[in-house]
Amino acid sequence: MLHPLLLKLALLSLAACAADRQALGDVDEEEIRRVTADLENSIVASYAPSGYRWHVADPGVSVQFGLPETDARALRIDCIEGRLVIMAPANTNAEEGAPASALFNDRLRREGSIHYLGDGPNIAVPVALDDPVVADLLAHERIRIDTADTHTLVPSAGAGPVLGPLIQTCRGR
């Protein structure tokens, strides 16, 4: 089985090629969608043997998709002052607090900033509890977050049972 990073690189390469129609000549859009979906499914499936899973990191405060009791994570969602802050690793050398933008599931763009956590630089995107991003994260088979230089893809299966209680607790703050 390929490491998730290698699969992500393959996905990025495919996306770059699809964007440059002149380099490919005639592009079969349906074939690109199929190959992209296959790569995304492989990335999501590769997490299972690694032990990554949705879990409560800090009750009422934080849930993560990663290895429990470690900083190894692909996605983190915190409740801060009645809002959710969605965090994902970012491949950047930007300064702490630098503005950054994220696209959720290829359709919802939100603004955030760069923050350095135990696992390195992360994009942190605050959203209201009723923001469509929150519902969208739970409505798909996988969660995809794209920034200018990083693409995060994790399964959404298992997110509901840990994210639902966090949202409820956050509403009360």
Q: How does pLDDT run along the chain (173 residues), one tens digit per residue?
A: 334 554 555 555 555 555 555 555 666 777 777 777 777 777 777 776 788 999 999 999 999 999 998 888 999 999 999 999 999 999 999 999 999 999 998 889 999 999 998 888 999 999 999 999 988 888 877 888 998 888 888 888 889 999 999 999 999 87
Cβ partners under 8 Å of residue 24, min gap 6: 17, 18
Tokens of 28: 């079969």
Q: How far apart are CA 87 and CA 125, in angstroms?
A: 6
Residue range 51-171, CATH number = 2.60.40.1880
3-state secondary structure of 7: helix
Supply the pTM of this predicted model: 0.78
3-state secondary structure of 26: coil
Where are the domains positioned within the chain?
A: 4-46, 51-171
